[in-house]
Amino acid sequence: MRDIDFVFSTDATIGAYGPVLRKNGWETGAFPVKRVLLSGAAGFIGSHLCDRLLQEAYEVVGVDNFITGHERNISHLAGAPYFEFRRHDVTTPLAIAGRFDYVIHAASPASPRDYLEHPIETLDVGSIGTKRMLEIAERDGAKFLITSTSESYGDPTVHPQVETYWGNVNPVGPRSCYDESKRFAEATTMAYHRARGVKTSIARIFNTYGPRMKLNDGRVVPAFLDQALRGEPITIFGEGTQTRSFCYVSDLVDGLYRLMLSDEVYPVNLGNPHELTIRQFASVITQATGTTAGLIHQPLPEDDPRQRKPDISKARRILGWEPKVPLEEGIRRTIEYFRQFYPADTPALSSR
Ligand SMILES: NC(=O)c1ccc[n+]([C@@H]2O[C@H](COP(=O)([O-])OP(=O)(O)OC[C@H]3O[C@@H](n4cnc5c(N)ncnc54)[C@H](O)[C@@H]3O)[C@@H](O)[C@H]2O)c1
């Protein structure tokens, strides 16, 4: 991986993100007054959050060590004014001049394939990385936001999952490196809030999908799409009666942005409450891609959650937020993005 470390000049213009990012926009007086430090900036969610923050006229310093992210996710920001990127591992000290108004810690391997491949790094970024980012927030008097996860609930015995539910996590199972890392990160966040007075918020994110996901990360949306687009049967674990709910990334990012601006300290679920069985989801993908290859079944992996559905009443109440993008529309946009990774004559793409 090429080592990139670039600071974009304020002279640059960027068309893709509208007038607010054009030099003339800034010259009319819309100079960024708030500065955000964002870890995990080259990841799936982090890169979309960069886009949103720049659109909202924040100055953004993104950091990422590319352990699971990719530079193509932020390459469109080359030339964006007020965007700076540092290749950096946030478990080590970060020296950046100037103070921040917001610190967002979104760095962490997030897909099961990634965190099973990098269990120690996953624990480190949730523990040491969270502490280092909180220290920067404390130093600057900045607001801190962490992207935690529905995996904090483990294999839930309460359905749908509400923020006051404490979870059912196996501390020594294969997924524990991720689940416990995030639970520790939440605990660290609360400790810095209580003991050091840092302004903090905790997002518990449920399954999110969209452009810039990795095709091979093992998560259900890219996994199903990849198989369907290749004309291979879609793999269902178990009977496919386990449920998931999928939130389109722009909706999720909107929730994160609202939470960043809020005073809420305790965790807030962000996700789409529209619940489907995995089998139903496979049929959405079958229809969207036109694949005729059918389904195959494999045994359920250990600790695979049986049900996932957020209760988002708290986010509705305190953030005025709820997802807007219908699943079929989100899947269509995601297929558009994945198109670039397949030859033009891939049957499922060329027939549409
Ligand atoms: N995508 C989802 O459905 C989902 C669900 C729940 C929670 N989350 C959380 O949202 C955040 C982003 O997830 P994502 O799906 O974009 O994953 P991702 O793997 O695409 O992005 C994570 C980014 O963090 C970077 N990173 C990891 N360790 C780092 C370190 N030590 N220093 C610097 N950078 C580091 C990776 O290189 C990557 O770019 C994560 O904290 C994840 O736990 C995501």
pLDDT in tens, 258-301: 999 999 999 999 999 999 999 999 999 999 999 999 999 999 88
Structural domain contains residue 54: yes
Q: Which residues pair with 45 in a beta bridge?
A: none
The rounded Å distance from CA 110 to ligand 1 centre is: 5
Structural domain contains residue 258: yes
Residue at token pair 């926009």: 25
Structural domain contains residue 332: no
How confident is the model over 15-26, as pLDDT tens digits?
Answer: 333 333 433 344
Q: Which of 82, 178, 209, 248 is catalytic?
A: 178
The rounded Å distance from CA 112 to ligand 1 centre is: 11
Between CA 37 and CA 104 the distance in angstroms is: 6
Ligand 1 neighbour 44 (Cβ under 6 A): yes
As for how many domains the chain has, the answer is: 1
Q: Is 72 exposed, middle or buried (0-12, 13-18, 19+ CB in 10 A)?
A: exposed
Say whether pLDDT at 339 is over 90.
no
Structural domain contains residue 72: yes
CATH of the domain at 157: 3.40.50.720
Give the rounded percent of residues in the chain with a pLDDT score beyond 70: 88
178 flagged as catalytic: yes
Structural domain contains residue 350: no
User: In the structure, what pLDDT confidence band is assigned to residue 307 with cuts at 50, 70 and 90?
Assistant: confident
The rounded Å distance from CA 107 to ligand 1 centre is: 4
Containing structural domain, residue 155: 6-209+247-273+306-325
Choose among 106, 105, 107, 103: nearest CA to 143.
103
Choose among 271, 269, 227: nearest CA to 248.
271
Q: Whose CA is nearest to atom 32 of ligand 1?
A: 89
pLDDT at res. 97: 87
The rounded Å distance from CA 122 to ligand 1 centre is: 10
Structural domain contains residue 149: yes
- Ligand 1 probe mutation, 50, 68, 247, most atoms within 8 A of CB: 68
Ligand 1 neighbour 272 (Cβ under 6 A): no
Least confidently predicted of 63-67, 164-168, 210-214, 307-311? 307-311
pTM: 0.90
| Atom number, ligand 1, closest to the C-alpha of residue 208 | 3
Structural domain contains residue 333: no
Structure tokens at 195: 């003991």
